[in-house]
A = this chain, B = another copy of it.
């Protein structure tokens, strides 16, 4: 099997490839992994030897098919355990990340699948992030940022791009939850503050930063 460290590198590379494009830079990975650049170079060389990444000196690197499979498997574990913690143990959505970071490294495909069944084959984790199925297939979401909507448009709130407890807590306090309908009533020209309507009922004023962290399905 792979070490926890390797698995964490794979996950981090996967996420960087998703957002920043195919090829990942040493420094970017060092930053998200919280290590210094030479550690990344060393690790990447070892992982290239195991055919988990392709690596060309000073040219960056990307996951192989094998590396991608491992990464998606870990993401599947992570998100299923998050559902377990929230749905079954009563944790709040802003409390589960660190625990899931530990649980995701439990090595047993069978356990993952039994957990999936126990939870009723959920499609998304408590933050709306999609859960890959047993074959590693991750449904492509059509969600867009609330900040991309024009005045008058609306969508269903299905996910966040900021997973920090601080932001999640803010949403709780503001009464904004997954599944709510968000309608853009006005956008302030000066600073792009959004005035929105929740579930066709009460209104709310949110900053551009917040609108830029909310995913909606039109």
The docked-state distance in angstroms from the alpha carbon of A108 to that of B102 is 10
How many copies altogether? 2
Cβ-neighbour of A106 out of B90, B91, B103 (below 8 A): B103
The interface residues of chain B lying within 8 Å CB-to-CB of A118 are: 88-89
- A174 on interface, CB distance cutoff 8 Å: no
Contact with B along A71-112 (1 / 0, CB 8 A): 000000000000001001111000000010011001110010
A–B complex contacts, Cβ < 8 Å, 7 sampled: A89-B111, A89-B115, A89-B118, A91-B114, A99-B111, A102-B108, A103-B103
The distance from the CB of A92 to the nearest CB of chain B, in whole angstroms, is 12
Q: How large is the interface on A (under 10, 10 to 19, 20 to 34, 35 or more residues)?
A: 10 to 19
Q: Are B107 and A102 in contact (CB under 8 A)?
A: yes
Cβ-neighbour of A99 out of B88, B99, B106 (below 8 A): B106
Contact with B along A105-135 (1 / 0, CB 8 A): 0111001001100100000000000000000
